[in-house]
């Protein structure tokens, strides 16, 4: 049925296909590794803020990237990786809340106090108070405002990437950011007046 030449040719083609498949898997793994390097800290900062506990956030971040790696191995790396990985991170955060309930920041605050030591400079105390005040003001924002602010200023995503993650238009994201910043300014002005009285 097959001639000897065809059999040998077929065997070579099979070997070439296997070699090509191995090469493309290796290239995909290398591409994922470079995307991991680019996005790991951004995703981790976002999750650390949202969860409020460094240890749990680090665990969720590891889960996000392991699931993402498996998905990329099976389906290929998405064209718009940044918004996609943040969608995965956001979904992992929602799963975390579903299984653990609302997180309390007590563990992290206790760790910060122990690691800072007893003596702090006045500037460090003021800076810490300002960060705590900003943290409280951010937590008072509606979730979609807070997500937009965190993705823009903590994770350093572009407006177009935030739009994909939040499934909104770029104009809607700009409006969310504008309104969130207005609310933060108003809250800061109120807190500043209360602090001086």
Residue with tokens 């790396």: 77
**pLDDT(128) > 50:** yes
Calculate the CA 21 to chain-centre distance: 31
pTM: 0.62
Q: Are residues 84 and 141 in the same domain?
A: no
Task: Residue count of the chain, please give it.
Answer: 197
Average pLDDT over residues 157-180: 92
Q: From residue 31, how far is each of 14, 16, 24, 51, 79 by CA, in Å?
A: 25, 22, 10, 29, 12
Buried b (16+ CB within 10 A) or exposed e, 122-156: eeeeeeeeeeeeeeebbeebeeebbbbbbbbebbe
CB-based contacts of 81, cutoff 8 Å, min separation 6: 35, 39
Same domain, 93 and 149: no
CATH number for the domain harbouring residue 185: 1.10.10.10
User: Do 143 and 179 lie in a common domain?
Assistant: yes
Do 109 and 48 share a structural domain? Answer: yes
C-alpha to C-alpha distance for 43 and 156, rounded to whole angstroms: 10
Domain count within the chain = 2
Residue 28 lies in a domain: yes
Boundary residue ending a domain (119, 135, 155): 119
Do 98 and 79 lie in one domain? The reply is yes
pLDDT digits (tens, 9 = 90+) for 33-72: 888 899 999 999 999 888 888 889 999 999 999 999 998 8
> Pick from 96, 119, 142: which residue ends a domain?
119
In a domain, 52, yes or no: yes
What is the extent of the structural domain holding 177?
125-197
What's the CATH code of the domain at 69? 1.10.1740.10
pLDDT at 111 over 60: no
């Amino acid at each position: 049925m097959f001639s000897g030449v065809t059999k040998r040719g077929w065997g070579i083609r099979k070997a070439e296909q296997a070699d090509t498949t191995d090469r493309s898997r290796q290239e995909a793994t290398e591409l994922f590794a470079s995307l991991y390097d680019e996005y790991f800290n951004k995703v981790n900062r976002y999750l650390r803020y949202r969860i409020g506990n460094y240890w749990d956030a680090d665990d969720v971040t590891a889960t996000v990237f392991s699931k993402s790696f498996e998905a990329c191995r099976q389906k290929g790396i998405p064209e718009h990786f940044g918004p996609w990985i943040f969608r995965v991170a956001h979904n992992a955060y929602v799963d975390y809340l579903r299984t653990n309930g609302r997180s309390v920041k007590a563990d992290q605050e206790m760790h910060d106090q122990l690691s800072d030591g007893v003596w702090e400079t006045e500037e460090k105390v003021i800076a810490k108070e300002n960060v705590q005040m900003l943290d409280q003001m951010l937590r008072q924002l509606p979730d979609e405002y807070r997500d937009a602010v965190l993705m823009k200023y903590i994770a350093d995503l572009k407006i177009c990437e935030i739009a994909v993650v939040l499934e909104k238009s770029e104009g809607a994201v700009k409006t969310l950011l504008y309104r969130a910043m207005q609310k933060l300014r108003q809250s800061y002005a109120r807190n500043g007046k209360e602090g001086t009285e």
